[in-house]
Amino acid sequence: MRRTILTAPLCMCLVTLSLSAQDGLKYLPPQEPEQRTLTLETGETVHYRAYENIPYVANIEDPQYQKLNIYVPESAYGDNRDTPIFLRNYVGGYMAGRAGQPSTKDATGRALAEGYIVVIPGVRGSNSVVEEHGDKIYTGRAPAAILDLKAAVRFLRHNDATIPGNKDRIVSDGTSAGGAMSALLGASGNDPVYEPYLKAMGAADERDDIFAAVCFCPIIDLEHADMAYEWLYRGTNSGVRNLTPEQAAVSEELADLFAGYQTGLLLETPLGERLTASDYRHYLKDLLVNSARAAQDIGMEIPDSIGVLYGSTREGKREITDIDLDIYLEYLVKMQPLKTPPAFDPLNVLASRPSPENMVFGDAHGSSSNFTEFSLRKATADPEAELDKDLRQRVYLMNPMNFIGKEEARTAPHWYIRHGAADRDTAFQIPINFSTKLANSGYDVDFELAWDRGHSGDYDLDELFRWIAGILYRNE
């Protein structure tokens, strides 16, 4: 009884606070928004209206980034029921992404031309800072970026009446670390594990699941990316990669961890075969051959000096039959030197320079941090060192692999995932495993290694927007 009396006023106070915070998230669009035009490279001109610098959380920590921009093509004006929303983020290198404007240089301009509403939220990242009492506070350490994207989606739903567009047709897009955030947004919809953080930020009390995720070269599964990288490239260590004996030893140790990880994923190929480390080179070769053939079909010249093997069809046509993976990997390494081991969590292990990932897992004072037990143990020379619980949780919250097939999460039904066949920023197994896990869990996945593409995104927009139109049509 005594307890009830003591806590009741506090409860009421909290309820009032959170209600008023939710009211503060109601958006009143300007009566006369700015009208703009964008001329695409095709010469097509798109007329649209701009609504900019709209805060999407009630408790703004970082006003430079926690705001979003909305662009509504004239064709969608007055229609707030059906028009899909293209949600582009500009996260790169795990740094903050600006609330940008539509551009002819990426998919945003094209999305407007297609008649879609474009939303670009600012997103905090490893380098975003605010000043507090003369101190620098780093606002974007993990998992801030995903929280901001979720808060932005919730804000759109919260303002369904005043912000046009179909909030159940949100298509997210990003590249590299931004592709990772698109992947995580798509994978982890509504998972209550993020709820305490979102509440504390004053995010709208709404769903944050999305319809589709477009992920170009997503730098994901960070805590397993080092082992995958060394497993793939170990054959180049004493050759073109030219590692020191110390680096080669770390590489071998990491590479040896990959098979166990891969087995534990329990993935299946489309033919229903287990995708283990011992089958992986074969599986990767098939994907690369498909990629090379698709490129050949549209007239690209592919030299056999890079490991691509040709045979002749009965009609006498030159056809790609196989790829020598060792030659091909060596070619990639010659084109762009590899990261040194450990590629993603190198802090204080041989190389002391922190990676973008070490920075994003650092703290609000600007520290960098190891985020794998492997590197932490090497860095501290303590073979029993463990990541602390809080950091383990933050690592968990940043990895989309954790949410596929998880009951509490509503994963996006549609996925478009591309990784360049010439991209060495992460190992091929990383996006392949991600796509395979999604497909194995019953989601609609369009995945390809894009021939001759390096680490880049928003290419082949004709294909991307055909795919988007296709998933929208199928679900009508």
**Residues at the contact surface with ligand DHB, assessed by CB under 6 A:** 92-94, 176-177, 219, 344, 356, 425
Instruction: State the alpha helices, DSSP H only, in 190-244.
Output: 195-201, 222-233
Concatenating the DSSP letter of every residue in 363-413 gives -TTS-----SHHHHHHHHT-TT----HHHHHHHHHT-GGGGTT-TT----S
The tally of CA atoms less than 13 A away on the side-chain side of residue 124 is: 29
To ligand DHB, the closest distance from the beta carbon of 425 in angstroms equals 4
Cβ 179 to ligand DHB, closest distance in Å? Answer: 8
Nearest to ligand DHB of 36, 98 (CB atom): 98
Residue whose CB is less far from ligand DHB, 430 or 472: 430
Least CB distance to ligand DHB at residue 455 (A): 6
Looking at residue 111, the DSSP 8-state letter turns out to be: H
CB of 475 to ligand DHB, least distance (A): 31
Distance in Å, CB of 159 to ligand DHB, minimum: 30
The residue sitting closest to ligand DHB, measured at its beta carbon, is 176
What are the C-alpha distances in Å from 172 to residues 153, 182, 272, 366? 10, 6, 30, 29
Nearer Cβ to ligand DHB (177/332): 177
When the beta carbons of 56 and 344 are compared against ligand DHB, the nearer one is 344
Shortest CA distance to 71 belongs to which of 42, 100, 105, 40?
A: 100
CB of 47 to ligand DHB, least distance (A): 33
* Of 176 and 247, CB closest to ligand DHB: 176
Peptide bond into 143 cis (omega under 30): yes
Of the two residues 84 and 179, which places its CB atom closer to ligand DHB in the complex?
A: 179
Nearer to ligand DHB, 210 or 219 (CB): 219
With tokens 């969590």, the residue in question is 345
CA distance 277 to 262: 6
| Closest distance to ligand DHB from the beta carbon of 434 (Å) | 15
Smallest separation, CB 86 to ligand DHB (Å) = 20
In the complex with ligand DHB, the residue whose CB is nearer, 178 or 189, is: 178
Nearest to 200 by CA among 240, 254, 150: 150
What is the enclosing helix (H) or strand (E) of 289? helix 277-297
Shortest Å, Cβ 144 to ligand DHB: 16
In total, the chain counts a number of residues equal to: 476
Can you tell me the distance from the alpha carbon of 14 to that of 31, in angstroms, rounded to the nearest whole number? 34
Distance (Å, rounded) from C-alpha 204 to C-alpha 291?
A: 43
* Residue 128 Cβ vs ligand DHB, minimum distance, rounded to whole Å: 15
Cα–Cα distance for residue pair 59/267, rounded to 1 Å: 41
> 200 by DSSP, 3-state: which?
helix
CA distance readout (Å), 401 to 48, 91, 267, 431, 468: 37, 19, 12, 10, 23
- When the beta carbons of 55 and 362 are compared against ligand DHB, the nearer one is 362
Q: SS3 for 314-357, per residue?
A: CCCCEEEEEECHHHHHHHHHHHCCCCCCCCCCCCCECECCCCHH
Judged by beta carbon, residue 164 or residue 346, the one nearer ligand DHB is 346
